Amino acid sequence: VCLHTLIMVKEIKRHISASPFRPFTLIMSSGQRYKVPTADHAGLSPKGSQAVIWFDDGSSVMLSTLHMTAIETEGDMGQTVRV
């Protein structure tokens, strides 16, 4: 597991458990973006190699953390903050 993946897993855990929770977007190496509106919409596998994003329509997507390039959140002033 590369250092970047370990950092992304740590950041995803931090974002999911944040209090108060702030919506965030996972950005993949393909350019695909996945918005996480609440903590209940995301989860990580026990080893952190995969994340699951659940959508309001009941569908979901499983993502490899290896292919995650950034996490974006909206700052207090409306600016985008990338990790």
DSSP states along 8-47? HHHHHHHHHH-SS---EEEEETTS-EEEE-SGGGEEE-TT
Instruction: Summarize pLDDT for 14-69 with one digit per residue, the tens.
Output: 999 999 999 999 999 999 999 999 999 999 999 999 999 999 999 999 999 999 99
Q: What's the predicted TM-score (pTM) here?
A: 0.86
Give burial (CB, 10 Å; 0-12/13-18/19+) of 42. buried
* Spatial distance between the Cα atoms of 74 and 24, rounded to a whole number of angstroms: 7
